[in-house]
Amino acid sequence: MDLDKDNKISITVIRRLPKYHRYLGELLRRGINRISSKELSDLTGFTASQIRQDLNNFGGFGQQGYGYNVEELYNQLGKILGLNKVYNTVIVGSGNLGQAISNYSGFEEAGFKVLSLFDKNPKVIGLKIRDIEIRDVDELGDFIKENDVEIGVITTPREYAQDIADVYMENGIKAIWNFAPADIKVSDDIIVENVHLSESLFTLSYFLNNKEDYVKN
Amino acid sequence: MDLDKDNKISITVIRRLPKYHRYLGELLRRGINRISSKELSDLTGFTASQIRQDLNNFGGFGQQGYGYNVEELYNQLGKILGLNKVYNTVIVGSGNLGQAISNYSGFEEAGFKVLSLFDKNPKVIGLKIRDIEIRDVDELGDFIKENDVEIGVITTPREYAQDIADVYMENGIKAIWNFAPADIKVSDDIIVENVHLSESLFTLSYFLNNKEDYVKN
DNA sequence: TAGATTGTTAATCGATTAACAATC
DNA sequence: TAGATTGTTAATCGATTAACAATC
């Protein structure tokens, strides 16, 4: 799909898409049918021009003189983001962060189904978080293969992150969502998305000490 | 401070600083004394040229023919990021995510001291997470004022985020670290740093479905 | 039809990369 | 000294903004 263009969509554009999707979801809940790029600009803080440019990378979803149909654009963006599918997911590290992710209903609603948590601590193996069992991390590889797991989450301490990434890689996982404060090394065909909480907090700290550099949004 | 320049440091530069800091910390732990921009480039994935440009926004930390002293650069970056201070912090929302943050030793080591968690659920008010008490959210405003709290974290469900932000704002908090999937509105003098986990996950999902757009790092 | 707003091209702005003199 | 590597300027590249014809 998307063979009609050779040039990549830039990461800066891609990272704005979820925000458009979120605001359109809100508008939809509020029963609003149509929105212009100008109005979306007021909501999101991106310029109207930028919004039109961004969307036109994927198609002409709008209509001159009218704007965009909220529901249609929401659905289109959902499809572009791959939210029209279900992804089998596992989480390694059953601490608070792992539990937070497995409990968050928003992810399940968006199609990210957590099949199991994994840990190496015998005290927690066998327990259930809601209805999701915590398994021994030694069973991780087999579980991935037997259950067509596509996405692996890492919520372990830093020192185990690379080992888990290796197990993920060896067993054919397609994408890794990494919360450990380390950059893992995997082969080029595996998607890695990092959430480095420290980097976010330290950025906050920087701005707290250098208010003159801070700009909203 | 930093009165010697009128032009702001751009956000793209600022967001790279924590990563430099993290790698330098690793090098320090490994007992490595000196590093060149070329070597830092191999570690971080940023170009050597970019690294030298970034650092020179803040000072000439290197030495021709030698490179950078790891410990000195680590300390300088720590200072630039404001990690040489202690910040009184509170967390509203004592669920898994709030607990994960309050338990993470890395934040406390970096100077972010969690004084209290807050919740509105009577069942958890009065409990302790490690040695941090969960208080009634009704006491939030007074607590902030009495304890010189500078940073407020929001780990509540989306629908409460703005209300908490309002309490933070009214009681003089300086920065908000927001994990709720909503963009909160506050006055311009308050720093807001968002962690939108859904946006990260949806970006991962996009790349899973559009591998041709994926580029490492 | 007249007004509104898109899709898209062109202009501008900013960030990254390349190059190299300075110097340790 | 010779080699290495910085700090910094200039060149390039890419992203954002502005403008407007097309058209609903």
Q: How far is residue B34's CA from residue B73's CA, in Å, rounded to a whole number?
A: 10
Write down the residue that tokens 């082969």 correspond to: A187
Q: Which pLDDT score is estimated for A4?
A: 36
Residue A35 (CA) to nucleotide C11 (C1'), in angstroms, measures 28
Phi, psi dihedrals of residue B186, rounded to the nearest 5°: -140, 170
Q: How far is residue B155's CA from residue B93's CA, in Å, rounded to a whole number?
A: 5
Q: How far is residue B14's CA from residue A53's CA, in Å, rounded to a whole number?
A: 26
Q: Which pLDDT score is estimated for B4?
A: 36
SS3 B102: helix
How many other CB atoms are found less than 10 A from the CB of residue A50?
Answer: 17
Contact A71/A28 with Cβ under 8 angstroms? yes
Q: Sheet containing A34-35: give its strands across.
A: A34-35, A67-69, A62-63
Q: How far is residue A71's CA from residue B11's CA, in Å, rounded to a whole number?
A: 33
A3 pLDDT higher than 90:
no
Residues facing residue B122 across a β-bridge: none
Q: If you average pLDDT over residues A139-145, what whole number do you get?
A: 98
Q: How far is residue B110's CA from residue B96's CA, in Å, rounded to a whole number?
A: 21
Q: Which residues does chain A have within 8 Å of residue B22's beta carbon, measured at their own beta carbons?
A: 181, 196, 198-199
B53 touches strand D (CB under 7 A): yes
Q: How far is residue A4's CA from residue A60's CA, in Å, rounded to a whole number?
A: 14
Q: Which CATH architecture has domain B87-199?
A: 3-Layer(aba) Sandwich (3.40)
Taken in order A195, A199, A205, A209, the sign of the CA dihedral is negative
Which pLDDT tens digit goes with each residue over A71-111?
A: 999 999 999 999 999 999 999 999 999 999 999 999 999 99
Q: If you average pLDDT over residues B121-137, what whole number do you get?
A: 96
Q: How far is residue B111's CA from residue B113's CA, in Å, rounded to a whole number?
A: 6
Q: Does A3 touch chain B (CB under 8 A)?
A: no
Q: Which CA-bearing residue is nearest the C1' of C19? A: B49
The packing angle between helices A48-56 and A17-29, to 10°, is: 100
The packing angle between helices A197-209 and B17-29, to 10°, is: 120
Residues facing residue B134 across a β-bridge: B117
Residue A6 (CA) to nucleotide C9 (C1'), in angstroms, measures 20
Q: Which residues does chain B have within 8 Å of residue A110's beta carbon, measured at their own beta carbons?
A: 198, 201-202
Q: Which pLDDT score is estimated for A6?
A: 53
Q: How far is residue B92's CA from residue B140's CA, in Å, rounded to a whole number?
A: 9
Residues facing residue A88 across a β-bridge: A113
Q: How far is residue B192's CA from residue B154's CA, in Å, rounded to a whole number?
A: 11
Confidence of residue B7 (pLDDT cuts 50, 70, 90): confident
Q: Which pLDDT score is estimated for A23?
A: 98
Percent of chain B exceeding pLDDT 90 equals 96
Q: Does B156 touch chain A (CB under 8 A)?
A: no
**Domain A11-80, CATH 3.90.650.10 — does that match?**
no
Domain regions of chain B by residue span: 11-80, 87-199
Q: What is the 3-state secondary structure (H, E, C) of B129-188?
A: ECCEEEEEHHHHHHHHHHCCCCEEEECCCHHHHHHHHHHHHHCCCCEEEECCCCCCCCCC
Q: Which pLDDT score is estimated for B3?
A: 35
The chain-wide mean pLDDT, for chain A, equals 95
Q: Which pLDDT score is estimated for A128?
A: 96
Residue A4 (CA) to nucleotide D18 (C1'), in angstroms, measures 28
CA nearest to A79, candidates A26, A17, A169: A17
Tokens of A120: 């190496």
Confidence of residue B63 (pLDDT cuts 50, 70, 90): very high
Interface test with A, best of B42, B81, B177 (most A CBs within 10 A): B81
B90 pLDDT higher than 60:
yes
Q: How far is residue A40's CA from residue A49's CA, in Å, rounded to a whole number?
A: 11
Contact B160/B180 with Cβ under 8 angstroms? yes
Give, as one character, the DSSP assignment of residue A3.
T
Tokens of A36: 């212009």
How many other CB atoms are found less than 10 A from the CB of residue B113?
Answer: 16
pTM value is 0.96
Q: Does A4 touch chain B (CB under 8 A)?
A: no
Q: Which pLDDT score is estimated for B5?
A: 40
Closest-approach nucleotide to residue A39, Cα vs C1': C5
Q: Which pLDDT score is estimated for B147?
A: 98
Contact B83/B25 with Cβ under 8 angstroms? no
- Which residues fall inside 7 Å of strand C, measured at CB? A 36-38, 48-49, 52-53, 55-56, 60-68; B 10-13, 46-47, 49-50, 52-53, 63-66
